[in-house]
Amino acid sequence: MTARFALALLALACAAAPARAYTIYVTDEKGNTITLIDSDTLAVKQTVSSGRRPRGVMTSPDGKLLYVCASDDDGIQVFETATMKLLRTLESGPDPEQFTMNKAGNLLYIANEDNAEVTILDVVKNQVLANVSVGVEPEGMALSPDGAMLVATSETTNMAHFIDANTFRRIDNVLVDKRPRYALFTPDGAGVWVSSEVGGTVAVIDAATRKILKKLRFDVPGLTPEEVQPVGMRITRDGNTVFVALGPANRVAVVDAHTFEIRKYLLVGQRVWHLALTPDEKHLFTANGNSNDVSVIDVANLKVIKSIPAGAAPLGVASSPD
């Protein structure tokens, strides 16, 4: 076999290798279920019963466990991803909305809407390490890439609260526009993006000084400002592009993370809540609460390629890791 022929065979084998398939997990707030979607076939592969009013959802760093905020059951459900068997329910505080996890996979940081606190939970011991007082109706949660800083948003107080993730002390409060719903760190940890649903803006905050650098507004042709309500966000690994779900505007805004230019609006399903990028960043999935479906966006081409039915009132969405 010549070297050239061997290289040709190798190239052919690589080209024929199937793309990596991920599992997309969607919480169905009114259906009390979790919809599992195959990222390769773009089809539903399983539906699993959950606790009441499931909202926030994420996998453990190793992908072996799935964590779900069962908001009306006041607990965090833990599923084994291989079998989707419910393993246990963790302490969370009342009405857990959203959460985030450290890279080690042993700590959850949970926004508890009903008692205006962030709960720090050791998931191995199922032990609360601290409760941090924040504003009224906390929801959004984000942890800096280095694990040193936590940000929680309070919907009624209209603030982003900065918490030292080592001492569990609140160190600063930043006033943003009405009803902040989501917080997102940039990959370098220098910036924090906070979406304000009723205010219709996204605030870009300097993580070190806690000063607002920019407020983004979204002028969607044909819609009133009241219809544009930013909620969930995702940023690409290179830190260049931020995707912003615009709620009842039924659009996802594509934003240049450096110039803050809005590159495009993508029409998706009705009342888009939260977003998930696959680890290879090939697809972006959107949970559309009023049309009961998930839209699939081809990231490279910035094009919506499919709509997938997903239970009743899909809200949270997460992808399995690499």
Write down the pTM of the prediction.
0.93
Question: Listing from the earlier edge strand, what are the strands of the sheet with 23-28?
Answer: 43-49, 33-38, 23-28, 314-319
- Report domain extents, the chain: 20-319
Residue 20 DSSP label: P
CATH 3.40.47.10 fits 20-319, yes or no: no
pLDDT of res. 19: 61
Distance of CA 297 to the CA centre of its chain: 16
Residue 311 to residue 26: CA distance in whole angstroms: 9
Predicted confidence at residue 20, as pLDDT, reads 78
**pLDDT value, residue 91:** 85
Could you tell me which of 235, 189, 195, 180 has the C-alpha nearest to residue 208? 189
- pLDDT tens track, the chain, 322 positions: 444 434 333 443 344 445 679 999 999 999 999 999 999 999 999 999 999 999 999 999 999 999 999 999 999 999 999 999 999 999 888 999 999 999 999 999 999 999 999 999 999 999 999 999 999 999 999 999 999 999 999 999 999 999 999 999 999 999 999 999 999 999 999 999 999 999 999 999 999 999 999 999 999 999 999 999 999 999 999 999 999 999 999 999 999 999 999 999 999 999 999 999 999 999 999 999 999 999 999 999 999 999 999 999 999 999 999 8
